[in-house]
Amino acid sequence: MSSELIQASTKRLRAIEVSRGMKTMVGALIALGVICAIFVPDSVSKGALLGMLPFAAVLAIISLGQTLVVQQGGIDLSVAGSVSLAVVYVTRLPQQQNSQLWKAVLVALASAIVVGVINGILISRIGINAIVATLGMSSLEYAVIMAISQGSPRRTTNLLNHIAANLFLGIPDSVYFAVIATVLVTLFLKRSIAGRRFEAIGASPRAGFAAGLKVRKHQMVAYVWAQLLYCLAGILLAGILTQPTAYQGDSLVFPSVTVVVLGGTSLLGGRGFPAASAVAALFLQQLNQMVLTLNVPFGIRTLVTAIALLIGIALYTIRWELVKARIKEFTANRKVGAVSA
């Protein structure tokens, strides 16, 4: 009987948490859409949305990888180097020949696996801080980028541009890639035994060790899958931008962490919400689109992202029920003091 009660309470808690993260982001996205439609209508025009959605899809895929890493109590700063390296592979190696694209994609995927394994070993086996390890890995990736490209851009192949930037039913193809990736990651975390173990280890590695779970293996897997998702995002980004730069991932590190926090995944690890992170990516990209339409300086746009991150941390870390209780207590004391006077 007690085990049934525990399972029932766990299911209710999971439903509450999913509802909280997803409802918050969906509500915020709807509110942002209304504000844009009233005050900045150009930011929600058909052309603006078609221009924004591919980049939102790329950020959503990246956020899925970052969510997996954050669930294990880490943070991945190699996003910039990993995305940029994938872009360089699929634009430089094929030499604009469609027939050579698949070889470049395989090289990019193999490189992503190697980077993920090294990150996982450094962090889970050797015990190096995640920030230090992934930042150092990003530097190594930039060294490879310079060796391959010398920092000069190269046009992508027509085939990749067609795959990533084409429209199907009026929606950019990259959006479908993001939806499929989100569904797969969500099913893994929420519907599989491995996903439940993954979340349990993220919440408490010591408890995972005590339960006989392979904690280090799960932590390493998080970094490998994250790199594969970054690689997918980089490949799509290379196709969306017909002539991307060799440093295309530079501006994606901070937003990737921001959308994970906005989606409700705790930076301390544990349960994650990939679908909410994907919606948060759409919200943040549209927010940037609105600010960009207003022609504000780049510094202001960066500040807007920082404010969004702070709001996300406040939403999910501040215990609002205690705040309300303190406010009620303060109000009651003021009333008692007024009556006494």
- Position 339 scores a pLDDT of 58
Q: What is the mean pLDDT of residues 65-81?
A: 92
Q: Which helix (H) or strand (E) holds 327?
A: helix 320-340
The CATH number of 13-340 is 1.10.3470
Is the pLDDT at 24 greater than 50, yes or no? yes
The model's confidence at residue 338, banded by pLDDT at 50, 70 and 90, is low
Q: Tens digits of per-residue pLDDT, 284-319?
A: 898 888 888 888 777 777 777 777 767 766 666 665
Higher pLDDT, 319 or 101: 101
For residue 216, the model assigns a pLDDT of 83
Model confidence pLDDT, tens digit, residues 321-330: 665 667 777 6
Q: Which of 266, 228, 254, 271 is nearest to 308 (CA)?
A: 254
Output the pLDDT for position 1. 38
Average pLDDT of the chain, as a whole number: 83
Place of tokens 């604009």: 96
Contact 101, 94 (CB under 8 A): yes
Distances (CA, A) of 197 to 192, 200, 270: 9, 5, 10
Distance CA 196, CA 211 (A): 13
- The percentage of residues in the chain with a pLDDT greater than 90, rounded to a whole number, is 34
Q: Is the pLDDT of residue 183 over 90?
A: yes
Does position 181 have pLDDT exceeding 90, yes or no?
Answer: yes
